Amino acid sequence: MKLADTDNRAFLLTHEDGTQIVARIPTPISGPPVITTASKVATMDFLRRFGLPVPKVLAYSAIAGSTEVGSEFVFMEKAEGTSLDRVSHDVLDVEFAQKLSDVLRPLVDLRFKCYGSLYYKDQLDPSERIDDFLVDSPEGVDTSPFCVGPITRRDFWEEERGTMDDVFRGPWTSALDYMTDTVTREQKWIERFAKPHMNDSFACVLPFQGTENDHIELLERYKTILPHLVPKEPQFLHGHLWHPNLHSGHVFASISFTNGRSKVNGITSCIDWQGSFIAPAFLQLTPPRVCGPWLNMSRDIVDHPAGFDAMEQGKEEESSDEFIAQGKERRMCAAFDRRAFGDMMLERDEGGDDSGVVRWKLPELKARQHLEYLSRRTWQTGLVPFRYATYRRGTSTS
């Protein structure tokens, strides 16, 4: 039975004895051949060793021509529980966000010395990898088979970017180098391949799009403020592995039904770690997409006054469904932030509850994340958002 047909074709296979497994075969848009599958398999194994609920890989091939299948493939256990995209979104609440933060907490505690993606050592040449990659080697967990190598993050491989041999894709030991190389990659792509496309944002329509040189020059200016964006404190610079797109379809849970309402009793599996990567904490550690939009402008960029959430709650009774949904997502994200990141990244919250607005130890943390996000895709979003964000940050550091 076919389960999905997007980045991967996923099939549910049933054996004669009734046991079921999932087969995943990459499509042309999955990512670069070989390393996408190789990194995904190594990442899933690594995560399971630290107790995360991830399906076990039963067999795989990262080289299309090495087996009779004639394609890369991964056979894995079927995820336990019910996918959250198949139940009412009423189950997505503050209590759920707290449960999810508890599941992902080991990734917050696990600190890396470098940035890139995970692999088995025998999958990469020694010149392409870093073997000593953890700040603290955990007791009782064997991490010796693993290494950190080139990043599999999608924007490094989209369109012609994957064919550019003069682009460095990691691994990195410096956050400044990591961010600078990302910008240099985009400058090179714009110079060689950029052209207007019907799928680009409406902001790309002239005169908002700007010329190739406009983009390259603004990205060069952005490089001059990068040293001001990179924090000095170690807790913000340690590398962290994080799920790149943890939406409701990637989270499975045990569900109970009481008085006509669904409730998440526990999270049983988090799937689809393809394209996962390790990046600096100040850029990487954000609430998963299932808790709400990653770049919700009203939450992430604007500093809200004290008592904002209480005012918001008072308005909800007479507000639109969209406003109510945004308020719910904001409280979920704040609950996740507090529970997952705690003293590492947040100012002490005297109120101690798990709702409302969080205060970050690093000034303008969300603005830094937003600016870095835009710098990777100026040709898709147009110059206006990036120019404005760069101007705001440039004036604050001058």
Q: Select the more confidently predicted residue: 121 or 334.
A: 121
pLDDT at 28: 81
What DSSP string describes 292-345? S-TT-HHHHTSPPPTTHHHHHHHHGGGS-HHHHHHHHHHHHHHHHHHHHHHHHH
First-to-last C-alpha distance (Å) of the chain: 59
117-120 and 146-149 strand pairing: antiparallel
Segment among 61-70, 72-81, 110-119, 347-356 with least mean pLDDT: 347-356
Residue extents of the structural domains in the chain? 1-398
- Angle at CA of residue 330, ends 340 and 234, nearest 5°: 35
pLDDT at 228: 92
Instruction: Give the pLDDT mean for 159-188.
Output: 97
* 229 has a pLDDT exceeding 90: yes
pLDDT at 322: 52
User: Measuring CA to CA, which residue among 297, 330, 294 is closest to residue 312?
Assistant: 330
2-5 and 8-14 strand pairing: antiparallel
Q: Characterise 275 by phi-psi region: left (phi > 0), alpha (psi -120 to 50), beta (else).
A: left
pLDDT at 305: 41
pLDDT band at 303 (very low <50, low <70, confident <90, very high): very low
pLDDT band at 174 (very low <50, low <70, confident <90, very high): very high
**Phi (first) and psi of residue 360, to 5 degrees:** -90, 145
Q: Is the dihedral of CA 111, 300, 388, 232 positive or negative?
A: negative
* 257 has a pLDDT exceeding 90: no
User: Are residues 87 and 118 in contact, defined by beta-carbon separation less than 8 angstroms?
Assistant: no
User: Measuring CA to CA, which residue among 41, 67, 27 is closest to residue 123?
Assistant: 41
pLDDT at 4: 59
pLDDT digits (tens, 9 = 90+) for 125-148: 999 999 999 999 888 999 999 999
Segment among 85-99, 129-143, 262-276, 336-350 with least mean pLDDT: 336-350
pLDDT band at 149 (very low <50, low <70, confident <90, very high): very high
Q: Which helix (H) or strand (E) covers residue 22, if one does?
A: strand 20-26
Instruction: Give the pLDDT mean for 297-316.
Output: 43
What DSSP string describes 30-98? S-STTHHHHHHHHHHHHHHHTT---PPEEEEESSGGGSTT-S-EEEEEPPPSEEGGGS-GGG-SHHHHH
pLDDT digits (tens, 9 = 90+) for 347-396: 765 555 545 567 788 888 988 999 999 999 999 888 888 998 888 766 55
Between the CA of residue 128 and those of 62, 169, 275, 384, what are the distances in Å? 17, 10, 18, 37
Distance CA 182, CA 169 (A): 8
Distance CA 326, CA 275 (A): 28
* Unique residue bearing structure tokens 């890396």: 112
Task: Kindly calculate the radius of gyration of the chain based on its CA atoms and give it in whole angstroms.
Answer: 22
pLDDT at 311: 46
Residue partners of 131: CB distance under 8 A and separation at least 6: 121, 147
pLDDT digits (tens, 9 = 90+) for 32-42: 899 999 999 99
Q: Select the more confidently predicted residue: 396 or 338.
A: 338
pLDDT at 177: 98
Question: 3-state DSSP: the chain helix, strand, coil percent, rounded to 5?
Answer: 45, 20, 35
* 108 has a pLDDT exceeding 70: yes
pLDDT at 34: 94
pLDDT digits (tens, 9 = 90+) for 36-65: 999 999 999 999 999 999 999 999 999 987
Distance CA 104, CA 284 (A): 13
